[in-house]
Structure 1
């Protein structure tokens, strides 16, 4: 179980990905934070060294037929979307303690295909034609997401703080329905907790954070601040197989700036829950691989499109050291 505990959480740090999906909220139905970024074992320190993660994300969502969403000087009504995205990038976990904990830094890129539709698009007071029932597709690249974590282990209890941001270099055009960039910078900070007992194989994790969005320079629109919490619970049946549940809650806590007066603050909300499964396997003497599949069904949505999404993660990290005794142990940092 020592190998299970150490490996899985080097990988949990890698699953903090980006936004860039048609299923979320704020301007045009898109927010920086992608619910489900964190999951099980999120706060457990990992194995020092370089790791790599590739995450395939598929999401589908739709809003009510009469639901309005502001976007770049117009209002789209009855939006829906489908995304097939890949997030990928390295993480480096430091061996030297920082403030008594273990530090790690990572950077993720994104690329894929986005399809978006609107039943009706209304332009602003100086606009021209009303567009009816249009659909657009885009295959391109997304924004770059740097992040950092600091984790502490106290036996079965683990704590974490993190920070991440959005570098808005992805393919974005305010006149399009489909984009893979969000068109503005953002920063997100938070913390989390994991309970993990190697003897029983049981764990529970949660990570909460707050997003601050900068103004979109193309539209002069600024999304409000977003609060979010991701959680995961699972059981390790042996040193390889993990089964459990995951969920999230997303709530906008301040008003958008730039939305039409008729929409008010346009605060959004959504919750999601679903199953997860993970599997660990050796890759030679020095590396280990990890595959995780999780899915979410969304509900309690407000001012956003909602539906379902799945995440398939493949990660490679340094193999955890063998325990020095027969009794499973957790490493302290």
Structure 2
């Protein structure tokens, strides 16, 4: 199975190892979903975002894993996978303070194409050895992802808490290798911080969270609890352009479980790093646009596929109101 996980970017990885962690090496949280300005409050109102994600991953024939498209409990070896997804996100930011902060809610889903191939099936559910290869190409849609955030601002310091999860799209097919729907429900929650100094142009953001996944009933496989940290650091060049670095750290804290977890409680880990550039530009008096391009390369991987990911984000949101000029006080004597 090749799938793209959570695409809540605002608003879806090696050294030789015995197995992929998570079912098919895919968890709900997609490393790199958060980045620069993650905890900075926005302007109240509706915002629209398009996120294009390209993912290229591979694992050598010496790496074993459990996937869909095979009999339950089958162990296969080797994988090449590519995914291209265009996710559409809608965010509503409330003008009414909640616990002294700014509340927002986002939903995101979209179409995509997945191409996946495995090199061999090693062991069937009854222990029989089976050899061969298989591939699959499919255009389908992702699960519906939802996310709620609450953000606070104190000058250059910004804090955030968030909660997200998925609603199954119904397109998951246990008989296909290529899926964009996960086939299980998951929940994720965490906290974030953004330092943003308009005077110097310095920006740094970091978001950490935990993911809990329910069992995939078709594979009888339950992913372990995952811990993830996404970060971004940038320098504004002028008022509307920023450049910098992005990265992530992903660590599975507990092992996989369930009757389908034939490889045992393997725990995955990955570290990624790459460049970014972002542009803010006016669209009208009421709205502004934001364009961001960032890329990640997996540097250190355990029990997951290895490769690279590119993100292109285009957002339209309410523009920051112009400061009201102070009028001189007319005194009458």
Task: State whether TM-score is above 0.5.
Answer: yes
- Which of 9, 32, 47 is the matching residue for 1:15? 9
Residue 176 of structure 1 deviates from its aligned partner by 1.8
- 3-state SS of 1:33 partner: coil
**Partner residue in 1 for 2:225:** 225
Identify if the C-alpha distance between structure 1 residues 284 and 275 changes in structure 2 by more than 3 Å, giving closer, same or farther. Answer: same
| Unmatched segments (≥5 aa) in structure 2 | 1-6, 13-19, 327-333
**Partner residue in 1 for 2:302:** 302
1:63 aligns with 2:63: no
**Partner residue in 2 for 1:180:** 180
Identify if the C-alpha distance between structure 1 residues 186 and 17 changes in structure 2 by more than 3 Å, giving closer, same or farther. Answer: farther
Larger radius of gyration: 2
Residue 284 of structure 1 deviates from its aligned partner by 1.4
Distance in 1 (alpha carbons) for counterparts of 2:185 and 2:154: 35
- Contact 2:11/2:90 (CA < 8 Å) preserved in 1? no
**Counterparts of 1:194-233 in structure 2 under 5 Å?**
194-233=194-233
Residue 171 of structure 1 deviates from its aligned partner by 2.0
Residue 132 of structure 1 deviates from its aligned partner by 1.7
- 3-state SS of 2:50 partner: strand
**Counterparts of 1:75-224 in structure 2 under 5 Å?**
75-126=75-126, 130-224=130-224
- 3-state SS of 1:73 partner: coil
- Contact 1:208/1:227 (CA < 8 Å) preserved in 2? yes
- Contact 1:163/1:190 (CA < 8 Å) preserved in 2? yes
**Partner residue in 1 for 2:329:** none
**Counterparts of 1:240-279 in structure 2 under 5 Å?**
240-258=240-258, 263-279=263-279
- Contact 1:259/1:265 (CA < 8 Å) preserved in 2? no
Distance in 1 (alpha carbons) for counterparts of 2:165 and 2:215: 14
Root mean square deviation of aligned Cα: 2.0
List 4+ stretches of structure 1 deviating above 4 A: 259-262
Identify if the C-alpha distance between structure 1 residues 261 and 113 changes in structure 2 by more than 3 Å, giving closer, same or farther. Answer: closer
More helix by share: 1
Give the aligned length: 309
TM-score by length of 1: 0.88
TM-score by length of 2: 0.88
- Which of 39, 45, 68 is the matching residue for 1:43? 39
Residue 203 of structure 1 deviates from its aligned partner by 0.6
Deviations 1:33-71 (A, max 9, x none): 000110001111100000000000001011122100112
Distance in 2 (alpha carbons) for counterparts of 1:225 and 1:101: 29
Deviations 1:208-242 (A, max 9, x none): 00000001111221000000000000011112111
| Unmatched segments (≥5 aa) in structure 1 | 1-12, 19-23, 327-333
Distance in 1 (alpha carbons) for counterparts of 2:276 and 2:170: 30
- Contact 1:280/1:291 (CA < 8 Å) preserved in 2? yes
- 3-state SS of 1:175 partner: coil
